[in-house]
Structure 1
Amino acid sequence: MAASELIQEDDKNCIEVISTDPPSPPQSTKVPNHTHQISRTPHSEDVLDGDGKGRRRKITEVLKENQLINSLCNKIQQRCNYDKITKESDDPLPKEWWKTGVSFIYAFFALVFNAVIIVIIHERVPDKSVIPPLPDKFFDYIDRVPWAFKATEACGLTLCGLWLVQWLALKHRAIVARRCFFMIATLYLYRCITMYITTLPVPGKHLECAPKLYDNVTEKMWRIIRMVSGGGLNVTGSHILCGDYLYSGHTIMLRLSYLFIKEYCPPRFWWYRWFCFFLSIFGLICILLGHEHYSIDVVVAYFVVNWTFRWYYAMLESHVHNQEPNKYLTRTWWNRIFKFLEGNVKATVPVEFGWPVPIPTTSCRRRYSIVDRYDN
């Protein structure tokens, strides 16, 4: 008589029953019914009774052992499932990449809508020969520097590149990305409102605006695609329209990149934070030196970016510490969006770094087996 139980560990250290060999009951032998009785001696009856009792005792022991092993396997499997569910539900910093994807769609929509608004307001920008630039105190004292705006875009692209590399190295990049996408979208939607409400004349006579298209819808669509694909930058040749002044989109790029770099930068890299700070400030000054925006455009953008960023993280601080949020913080129109993005985040995101792509490593997976054998 033999019974075996093989238990092996799977990839997640959970034990699984591979095969079960239940003991087969003893086959009963039928004695032919003869008319003649078989004479048995008392000694032979004792031997048969003793052998039958021993066999039944061994079968009972095997059944008990099998029940014990099956019960152990079930308990271990239940524990593995419980640990897996608990780990997924109790993670204070869940990735939730699908929410990051929703935030990205929101940002992409805001950027496309921003391009649509610029194409619309370009048609109603007054001719600079008819309405001259508005008086600006900075322009009164500082003459235009031709290369300044190119330096602004160089600073902005450098900061965006540094932030992209830093974000890729972060461990919790999914959470950080959806925060970044949300702020980009929100700030550009605010910009669409201010640009559409008040159309300012060009800030300098050196600016060359593309001709107006009026009712040519097809060409307007191509301009929208060109702006979105080129990011609205001079270096890409997509900044050919006028009217997108209040407030400055270049200031959003410079300031928001620096704020995220500072927020998720280790304290020991103080020199890196100061470098990015001076780079952002230099870029803002170059916007004014190039006379590409009015001073009010840069000032308004600076404060809108700063306060939106601080407002969001003030709400986040109350949320992760389970504090009652300030009633003024919860009155924002995007409070429900905030709860959707940060609802399952239960802790402050630590500044931890890791490889953006898992490095393949060879690992030996140990497999355990328990084999119980019973001999006849």
Structure 2
Amino acid sequence: MAHLQLRKKKCILELVKLSIAFLCLSLSAFLNFFLLTIIHDIVPREPLPDLIFMLIPQQKWAWPVGDVLSTVNSVIGFAVVFLHKDRITILRRLFLLGSIMYGLRAVVMGVTFLPPSFHDRDQICLPQVNRTAMYGDEIMKRFLTYVVTLGLTSGQSKILCGDLMFSGHTIVLSIMYFTTLKYTPKGLFWLRYVVTPITFCGMLALVVSGGHYSIDVLIAYWLCSHVFWSYHQIFELPLQERKSQNLARMWWFWLVYWFEETVPPGALKNKWNWPFPGPLFMKELAKKCNKKLCQ
């Protein structure tokens, strides 16, 4: 009985941590949306030179392609997380990593304003407005639009411009890519050959479309790579060793330390299970998959 109560308390604590991590991600994302609604009216309109733009004419069709590839990468990544036996821990880590990256993005967006990278920006970007008595209403309208669409703009005739440094789409592509690499069972090694071209073609599409400068995408990928693998390296160590590591001096370490206190040291074993009581054939299928995929 005591064991069951302890397990129940642990489950509740893990769900609380997951909820707080999701709240952190939501706040970071909403801050990005809010900053964009203001930055749009501040940024200059003349685009900066970019090597890719010099070599390849901007292609409008590439922007929705980038959206689609980001979505496909996310579906694959979340499917891997959903089937993983430690799905709560991994999902919480994704929320925290997203919070860190979008928090960094908000800071960068708020201090340096890059002009839109579109050559035909007047046809793509919404017109800038003067700060009048009705400006607050305009900001709120823009903000709610981006919250409802989760920042996806491929279906809109004109969009807000200015959220360039660094690329939010690349954050999604990179984190989901690394998640698939990290948490896929050994037997599905071939999946990396699927997500790798999806990831990098998605990044290329963002630049070819003119939606981002090359540097926006490169910095986003490099930062995601650094934060993702540093996070896992430090929190896979035994609990008593984490505070003494050089990586413990990273600014985000203490922000996420509490979330990882109860996670056993070492890499999580990449085993699958079916998270629901039924149907039974799915539970049996997950067991059979484990035998084949984890060998």
How does the TM-score come out when normalised to structure 1?
0.68
2:147 maps to 228
Within 1, Cα distance between the matches of 2:102 and 2:55? Answer: 31
Counterpart in the other structure of 2:258 = 340
Shift of 1:85: 6.2
For the pair 1:318 / 2:234, whether they are aligned, the reply is no
Correspondences of 1:116-265 after superposition (within 5 Å): 116-126=34-44, 128=45, 132-207=46-121, 208-213=124-129, 214-215=131-132, 216-237=135-156, 240-265=159-184
| Partner AA of 2:40 in structure 1 | H
Q: In structure 2, the residue corresponding to 1:171 is in which secondary structure? A: coil
Q: Helix, strand or coil: the match of 2:236?
A: helix
8 A Cα contact 1:145 1:289, kept in partner: yes
CA deviations over 1:11-56 (Å, ceiling 9, x no partner) = xxxxxxxxxxxxxxxxxxxxxxxxxxxxxxxxxxxxxxxxxxxxxx
Q: In the alignment, which of 19, 24, 47 is matched to residue 106 of structure 1?
A: 24
Helix, strand or coil: the match of 1:354? coil
SS in structure 1 at match of 2:144: helix
Count of paired positions: 274
SS state at 2:251 partner:
coil
RMSD over equivalenced CA pairs, Å: 2.3
Tell me if the contact between 1:251 and 1:298 (Cα under 8 Å) persists in the aligned partners. Answer: yes
User: Runs (4+) of structure 1 moved beyond 6 Å?
Assistant: 85-89
Over 3 Å counting, the alpha-carbon distance change for 1:181 and 1:239 in structure 2 is farther
Aligned to 1:371: none
> Offset at 1:139?
1.3
TM normalised by structure 2 equals 0.85
- Is contact 2:170–2:220 with CA below 8 Å preserved after alignment? yes
Mapped contact 1:318–1:325 kept (Cα < 8 A):
no
Distance 2:70 2:185 in 1: 22
Quickly say closer, same or farther: Cα 1:286–1:243, change in 2 above 3 A.
Answer: same
Q: Distance in 2 between matches of 1:245 and 1:360?
A: 46
What amino acid sits opposite 1:272 in the alignment? L
Following TM superposition, by how much is the alpha carbon of 1:86 offset from its aligned partner in structure 2, in angstroms?
A: 7.0
> Are the equivalent residues in 1 in contact too, given 2:242–2:248 (CA < 8 A)?
no
The question of whether the paired residues in 2 share the 8 Å contact of 1:203 and 1:292 is answered with yes
Say whether the 8 Å CA contact 2:235–2:242 is kept in structure 1.
no
Q: Percent identity?
A: 27
Q: CA separation in 2, counterparts of 1:250 and 1:256?
A: 10
- Give the match's secondary structure for 1:304: helix
Q: After superposition, where does 1:70-89 map in structure 2 within 5 Å?
A: 81=2, 83-84=3-4
Q: Structure 2 stretches of 5 or more lacking a match?
A: 281-295
8 Å Cα contact 2:125-2:158 kept in structure 1: no
Deviates more, 1:282-291 or 1:331-340: 331-340
Partners of 1:232 and 1:262 lie apart in 2 by 26
- Cα drift, residue 205 of structure 1: 2.1
Distance in 2 (CA, whole Å) between partners of 1:360 and 1:309 is: 35
More helix, by proportion:
2
Contact residue 251 and residue 302 of structure 1 kept, 8 A: yes
Matched residues in 2 for 1:272 and 1:299: separation? 23
Opposite residue 141 of structure 1, the aligned amino acid is L
Give the 3-state SS of the residue equivalent to 2:272 in structure 1: coil
Per the alignment, residue 248 of structure 2 pairs with 330
C-alpha distance 238-95 of structure 1, shift in aligned 2 (>3 A) = farther
Task: Name which of 211, 218, 225 aligns with 1:292.
Answer: 211
Note the alpha carbon deviations across 1:52-99, whole angstroms, 9 max, x for none.
Answer: xxxxxxxxxxxxxxxxxxxxxxxxxxxx54x5467679x8x9971110
Using the TM superposition, give the Cα deviation of residue 325 of structure 1 relative to its aligned residue in structure 2, in angstroms: 4.9
Is this contact kept in 2: 1:110–1:185, CA < 8 A? yes
Deviations 1:279-336 (A, max 9, x none): 101111111211211111111111111001011011112235x535554211122222
> Map of 1:86-101 to 2, 5 A cutoff?
96-101=14-19
1:190 maps to a residue whose letter is L
- Aligned pair in 2 of structure 1 residues 228, 324: CA closer, same or farther (>3 Å)? closer
